Amino acid sequence: MSRAVPQSLHDLGFSGLVEVLAAGGVIAHHAKALWRALHREGELDLTTRSFLPPLRRWIDASVGGDKAFFLDAPEVVDEIRSSDGLTRKFLLRLRDGQVIETVLMGYDGRHTVCVSTQAGCAMGCVFCATGQMGFVRHLRPGEIVAQVLHARRVLKEMHPHKRLRNLVMMGMGEPLHNIDSVMTALEIISDVRGIGIGPSHISISTVGVVPGILRMAEENSPYRLAVSLHGSTEQERAALVPASKRWSLEMLISACRDYGRLTGRRVFFEWTLIEGKNDSPETAARLAVLLAGIDAHINLIPLNPTGGFSGTASGSGHAFQRILRAAGFPCTFRQRRGIDVAAGCGMLKAERRARVALL
């Protein structure tokens, strides 16, 4: 029996897979073999692989073409490598033609995948290439999982013995605006029977969607939380992050305090340094007061120029860092060694669009 709307097998957590097999008369035992094929082996063609007969019959009847289920296998439409070869950025086309970015980074022997969670983004941060595009749609869990599988496949080709150990949700989109799909995807990605990236090696980066942060706190979510702050007063922040009109700085910091208290975990704050906007010594001192009492780590990010924003990268990052360190906060610069690959989120897509427009 085929369903009206085909569903991705990559959208399903383990229990979901057990359920759909059960509905097709296949006992739970077989779910493990299918899960292994999908997530441990990263198999994209189930027709050629051998399975026990009941599972084989279900796959033949249910997966592919216009049948009830499909696999998420986005097509690589472009790739850019950094000159040191350590960062590779992929432009992936989804089934409906939407194009998203995924980045594989490998420094000091540690490999990290940076995934997108939405096509475009509704939050409109003024300096962000994705924000400048606007929102298109949320990604399904399977579309997030497929990015990790792709990055792992590429890593395996380069270094057969290296494992993909880290994941950051710092690609296109706002993860906590798509929280249900994100949480399902992360459950799949962290499952040790499959991809097995440890929850403490997974970072969710948010512009400050307060209900999402509170949900992570209440559920004692095992993932790392990174909050993109960029401003130390309502006014300073509102000039860069329109979403702050919806969730004020006060609400956001209070939610971060709740998260720290309830989970006992550190909160990472991201700060894109922009000349004359948020890089003064006074701002650094105010930030230290704002975060007082929070177990906080501050990551400073040099601004990547984007077409739609006239601001420039700050020249006073080190002074800013010194003030925060003197106040007792760990404060580091985000490595941007992949900068020559159009490293900022959404930038490859924006750049490609510009290139195509010239043709």
Active site residue 351: no
Among 105, 167, 300, 303, binds ligand SAH (CB under 6 A): 303
Closest CA to 64 of 116, 2, 14, 115: 2
Nearer to ligand SAH, 283 or 304 (CB): 304
Angle between helices 179-190 and 141-158 (to 10 degrees): 40
Which position among 101, 174, 236, 270 bears the catalytic label? 101
What is the C-alpha to C-alpha distance for residues 194 and 152, in angstroms, rounded to an integer? 12
Does 9 bind ligand SF4 (CB under 6 A)? Our answer is no
* Residues in CB range of 179: below 8 A, 6 or more apart: 209, 212, 215
Active site residue 114: no
Does 252 bind ligand SF4 (CB under 6 A)? Our answer is no
Does 267 bind ligand SAH (CB under 6 A)? Our answer is no
Contact, 316 vs 284, CB < 8 A?
no
Among 112, 304, 314, 321, binds ligand SAH (CB under 6 A): 304
Instruction: Give the E-state strand segments of the chain in sequence order.
Output: 7-8, 69-70, 75-81, 87-93, 99-107, 110-114, 118-120, 135-138, 166-169, 202-206, 224-228, 267-273, 296-302, 331-333
DSSP secondary structure string, 58-95? HHHHHBSTTSSEE---PEEEEEEE-TTS-EEEEEEE-T
Task: Determine the 3-state secondary structure of 36 from DSSP.
Answer: helix
Does 170 bind ligand SAH (CB under 6 A)? Our answer is yes
Does 306 bind ligand SF4 (CB under 6 A)? Our answer is no
Nearer to ligand SF4, 169 or 186 (CB): 169
Among 62, 87, 130, 299, binds ligand SF4 (CB under 6 A): 130
Does 345 bind ligand SF4 (CB under 6 A)? Our answer is yes
Instruction: Give the E-state strand segments of 115-209 in sequence order.
Output: 118-120, 135-138, 166-169, 202-206
Among 101, 174, 270, 279, binds ligand SF4 (CB under 6 A): 174
Binding site partner of 166, from ligand SF4, ligand SAH, none, Cβ cut-off 5-8 A by kind? none
Among 92, 100, 121, 348, binds ligand SF4 (CB under 6 A): 121
Nearer to ligand SF4, 228 or 232 (CB): 228
Which of the stretches 97-105, 259-267, 283-291, 296-304 binds ligand SAH when contact is defined by CB under 6 A? 296-304
CA distances, 184 to each of 143, 157, 175 (Å): 11, 28, 12
b/e per residue 81-103 (b: at least 16 CB within 10 A)? ebeeebbbbbbbebeeebbbbbb
Residues numbered 187-226 forming contacts with ligand SAH, rule: CB under 6 A: 205-207
Nearer to ligand SAH, 8 or 314 (CB): 314
For residue 315, what are its two tokens? Answer: 């020249």
Does 287 bind ligand SAH (CB under 6 A)? Our answer is no
User: What is the x/- site pattern for ligand SAH, positions 45-84, by CB under 6 A?
Assistant: ----------------------------------------
Return the DSSP state at 204: E
The catalytic residues are 101, 345
Query: Where do contacts with ligand SF4 occur on this chain (CB under 6 A)?
Result: 121, 123-125, 128, 130-131, 173-174, 207, 228, 345
Query: Where do contacts with ligand SAH occur on this chain (CB under 6 A)?
Result: 125, 127-128, 170, 174, 205-207, 228, 270, 272, 301, 303-304, 306, 344-345
